[in-house]
């Protein structure tokens, strides 16, 4: 693996995802292989752009803070995240029956409500409690069928 590859490229490029995911498998022969990914991977396709800064880590360019911010989100085009499914398929073939393949970036079945609430886990230290409470209150009050009319709950 090339450590010179930017973090987003490593978690959004099928060949790199597979290579990085298989490294522990080749070295230790565990019972499972976990797909290399990032919980933030689907966010840009959802309408939440972010960068990963070398020292700071993930920086969400337009944090979700108000109901208006939530209304700007849009359903994910799953085709843009095809690299996740492709990576899982390749990993399954590579490890055969020797290990389970685990993936923690669940896009289709989590739905928009789960991803919106996952954004709340990125609350910075020092954020006032009332701001965090307001975020969750706003998220809970939304009519998700109106915001995401084409989403079918799994």
- 36 lies in some domain: yes
- 152 lies in some domain: no
- 20 lies in some domain: yes
User: Which residues are within 8 A (CB) of 96 and not within 5 positions of it... i.e. 6 or more apart?
Assistant: none
pLDDT recorded at residue 41: 82
- 153 lies in some domain: no
Contact 81, 45 (CB under 8 A): yes
| pTM given for the model | 0.61
- 111 lies in some domain: yes
- 1 lies in some domain: no
pLDDT recorded at residue 105: 41
- 154 lies in some domain: no
How many domains does one find in the chain?
1
The CATH number that applies at residue 94 is 3.20.20.210
pLDDT recorded at residue 146: 62
Low-confidence spans in the chain with pLDDT less than 50: 1-3, 105-111, 114-118, 120-122, 154
pLDDT recorded at residue 14: 94
- 70 lies in some domain: yes
Contact 59, 53 (CB under 8 A): yes
pLDDT recorded at residue 20: 93
Q: Strand runs (DSSP E) across 24-148, as ranges? A: 32-34, 50-53, 57-60, 100-102
Report the DSSP beta bridge partners of residue 34. 102
pLDDT recorded at residue 93: 92
Q: What span, in angstroms and rounded, lies between the C-alpha atoms of 51 and 7?
A: 9
Contact 63, 69 (CB under 8 A): yes
pLDDT recorded at residue 104: 57
Q: What is the residue range of 62's domain?
A: 7-147
């Amino acid at each position: 693996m090339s450590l010179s590859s930017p973090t987003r490229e490593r978690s959004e490029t099928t060949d790199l995802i597979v290579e990085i995911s298989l490294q522990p498998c080749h070295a230790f022969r565990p019972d499972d292989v976990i797909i290399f990914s990032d919980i933030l991977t689907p966010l840009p396709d959802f309408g939440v752009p972010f960068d990963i800064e070398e020292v700071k880590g993930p920086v969400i360019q337009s944090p979700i803070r108000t109901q208006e911010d939530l209304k700007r989100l849009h359903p994910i085009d799953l085709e843009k995240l095809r690299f996740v499914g492709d990576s899982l398929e390749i990993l399954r073939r590579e490890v055969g029956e020797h290990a389970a393949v685990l993936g923690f970036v669940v896009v289709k079945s989590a739905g928009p409500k789960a991803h919106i609430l996952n954004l709340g886990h990125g609350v910075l230290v020092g954020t006032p409690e009332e701001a965090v409470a307001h975020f969750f209150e706003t998220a809970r009050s939304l009519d998700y069928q109106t915001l995401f009319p084409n989403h079918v709950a799994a």
